[in-house]
Amino acid sequence: MTTIGDTDLDVSGLCLGTNVFGWTADAEQSFALLDAYAEAGGNFLDSADSYMAGAEGNSGGESETIIGDWMAARGNRDRMVVATKVGNLPGRRGLSPTNLTAAVDDSLRRLRTDRIDLYYAHTDDTDTPQEDYLAAFDGLVRAGKVRALGASNFDADRLRSALEISGRDGLARFEAVQPHYNLVERGYEEDQALLVQKEGLSCFPYFGLAKGFLTGKYRPGSDGRVDSGATEGAMGWARAGGAKAYLDERGVRVLGVLDEVAAAHDVPVASVALAWLSAQPTVVAPIASARTLDQLAQILPSTGLALAPDELAGLSRASESR
Output the domain CATH number for residue 31.
3.20.20.100
DSSP-derived letter for residue 45 is: E
Question: Taking the C-alpha atoms of 13, 270, 187 and 48 in order, what is their torsion angle to the nearest 10 degrees?
Answer: -60
Residue 164: in which H helix or E strand, if any? helix 156-169
Q: Tens digits of per-residue pLDDT, 187-239?
A: 999 999 999 999 999 999 999 999 999 999 999 877 554 444 444 443 443 45
Q: Tens digits of per-residue pLDDT, 146-186?
A: 999 999 999 999 999 999 999 999 999 999 999 999 999 99
- The verdict on whether omega for the bond into residue 71 sits within 30 degrees of 0, i.e. cis, is no
What per-residue confidence (pLDDT) applies to 227?
A: 45
Q: Tens digits of per-residue pLDDT, 291-310?
A: 999 999 999 999 999 999 99
The structure's pTM equals: 0.94
**CA pair distance 311, 322, nearest whole angstrom:** 19
Whole-number percent of the chain with pLDDT over 70: 93
Q: 111 φ, ψ to 5°?
A: -80, -10
DSSP secondary structure string for all residues of 202-264: EE--BSTTGGGGGGT---TT--S-S-S--TT---HHHHHHHHHTT-SHHHHHHHHHHHHHHHH
What per-residue confidence (pLDDT) applies to 189?
A: 97
What per-residue confidence (pLDDT) applies to 226?
A: 42
**CA pair distance 196, 183, nearest whole angstrom:** 19
> Does 134 have pLDDT greater than 60?
yes
Q: Is the separation of the CB atoms in 89 and 125 below 8 Å?
A: no
Catalytic pick from 37, 51, 206, 218?
Answer: 51
What per-residue confidence (pLDDT) applies to 241?
A: 64
* Mean pLDDT computed over 247-273: 97
Q: Is the separation of the CB atoms in 279 and 225 below 8 Å?
A: no
Q: How many domains does the chain have?
A: 1
Calculate the average pLDDT of the chain: 94
What per-residue confidence (pLDDT) applies to 237?
A: 38
What per-residue confidence (pLDDT) applies to 221?
A: 79
Q: Is 206 a catalytic residue?
A: no
**CA pair distance 48, 174, nearest whole angstrom:** 17
What per-residue confidence (pLDDT) applies to 321?
A: 81
* Mean pLDDT computed over 13-24: 96
Domain that holds residue 76: 2-318
Q: Is the separation of the CB atoms in 63 and 48 below 8 Å?
A: yes
